[in-house]
């Protein structure tokens, strides 16, 4: 019988578990790196979210591994070349456009980050909790009439553009693979940077998008503008972002992703420059890659991936 190891079982959907148990023996346990390497050879499939790096070393220990399942679109945490060499299928959400169109969590969180940043919501909340009631410290900005730039007009970018129109914003977009859309006017990359009061990033991470936003791009951006990134940390050159915030070129930024999150170091946030800056500067808000983490979205995606696993093993 097929054997599956779910390495991140916390909060896992009971419905998805039932799908898996209909065709496989399922073990659920969070393991250390060493324990995982020792155990993985006994399993036909692994299930992970984002806390484990499934790299070449894992595949070298996984004699029977036929599939790695991850309910994500990004695959930074899985060595795709090693998987291919090993003959293991990567079962994920990438390319599942019809299904993903029904998932709104990341788009909604993007908008929450934008509003939290321009209205200083975290600091205003802390201010009241500490006994304050001085609204003049927290004057924000209105979105109505401002220009929203959407970098990438796929399933998420198009949702963000639609939200922008609902808020009465002028919406611009740039996507090398898309030339028109219902909710945005399409412009070239440099014009998007120059004209946007708020820039939201929704491009996939690959060789062509790594550090797509760097020093020269920040220089092009409108002084006093804001940036939101719920895509992948590697798309932004983080040193350049920090410099832009420190010098005031950007008025603020809100991030759900950082380059360092895929390191094997457990305490990486303690020395991350952006995390350190955010601790004492209200113009940077960081959340721990939670954009897609709602009860509804995680249940839907886990059931979807479990059903794909069942189909893969011909259950």
Strand 45-48 vs strand 250-255: parallel, antiparallel, or unpaired?
unpaired
Integer Rg of the chain from CA: 21
Respond yes or no: is residue 119 known to be catalytic: no
Respond yes or no: is residue 129 known to be catalytic: no
Cβ distance 15 to 299 under 8 Å?
yes
Sequence-ordered list of residues with C-beta below 8 angstroms from that of 92, at least 6 positions apart, any chain? 69, 70, 71, 72, 73, 75, 78, 305
How far apart (Å, rounded) are the C-alpha atoms in residues 106 and 110? Answer: 6
Sequence-ordered list of residues with C-beta below 8 angstroms from that of 199, at least 6 positions apart, any chain? 149, 151, 192, 193, 221, 225, 226, 227, 228
**Of 49, 86, 202, 289, catalytic:** 289
**Of 89, 237, 261, 302, catalytic:** 261
First to last CA, the chain: 10
CA 179 to chain centroid, in Å, comes to 24
**Of 89, 232, 259, 302, catalytic:** 232
Respond yes or no: is residue 211 known to be catalytic: no
* Region class of 264: left (phi > 0), else alpha (psi between -120 and 50), else beta: alpha
* Region class of 272: left (phi > 0), else alpha (psi between -120 and 50), else beta: beta
Active site residues: 232, 261, 289
């Amino acid at each position: 019988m097929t054997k599956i190891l779910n390495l991140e079982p916390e909060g896992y959907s009971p419905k998805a578990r039932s799908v898996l148990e209909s065709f496989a023996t399922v073990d659920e346990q969070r393991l250390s790196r060493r324990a995982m390497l020792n155990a993985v050879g006994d399993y036909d499939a692994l299930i992970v979210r984002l806390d484990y790096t499934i790299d070449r070393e894992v595949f070298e220990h996984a004699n029977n591994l036929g599939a790695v399942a991850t309910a994500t679109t990004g695959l930074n945490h899985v060595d795709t070349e090693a998987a291919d060499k090993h003959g293991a299928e990567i079962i994920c959400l990438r390319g599942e456009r019809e299904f993903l169109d029904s998932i709104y969590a990341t788009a909604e969180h993007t908008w929450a980050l934008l509003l939290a940043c321009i209205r200083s919501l975290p600091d205003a909340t802390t201010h009241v909790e500490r006994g304050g009631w001085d609204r003049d410290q927290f004057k924000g900005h209105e979105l109505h009439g401002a220009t929203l730039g959407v970098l990438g007009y796929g399933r998420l970018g198009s949702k963000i553009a639609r939200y922008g129109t609902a808020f009465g914003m002028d919406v611009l977009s740039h996507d090398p693979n898309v030339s028109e859309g219902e909710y945005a006017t399409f412009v070239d990359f440099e014009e998007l940077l120059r004209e946007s009061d708020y820039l939201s990033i929704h491009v996939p991470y690959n060789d062509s998008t790594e550090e797509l936003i760097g020093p020269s791009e920040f220089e092009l951006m409108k002084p006093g503008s804001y940036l939101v990134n719920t895509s992948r940390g590697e798309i932004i050159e983080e040193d350049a972002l920090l410099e832009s915030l420190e010098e005031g070129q950007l008025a603020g930024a809100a991030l759900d992703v950082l380059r360092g999150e895929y390191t094997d170091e457990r305490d990486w946030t303690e020395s991350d420059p952006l995390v350190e800056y955010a601790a004492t500067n209200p113009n940077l808000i960081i959340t721990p890659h939670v954009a897609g983490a709602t009860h509804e979205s995680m249940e839907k995606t886990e059931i979807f991936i479990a059903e794909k696993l069942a189909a893969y093993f011909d259950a």
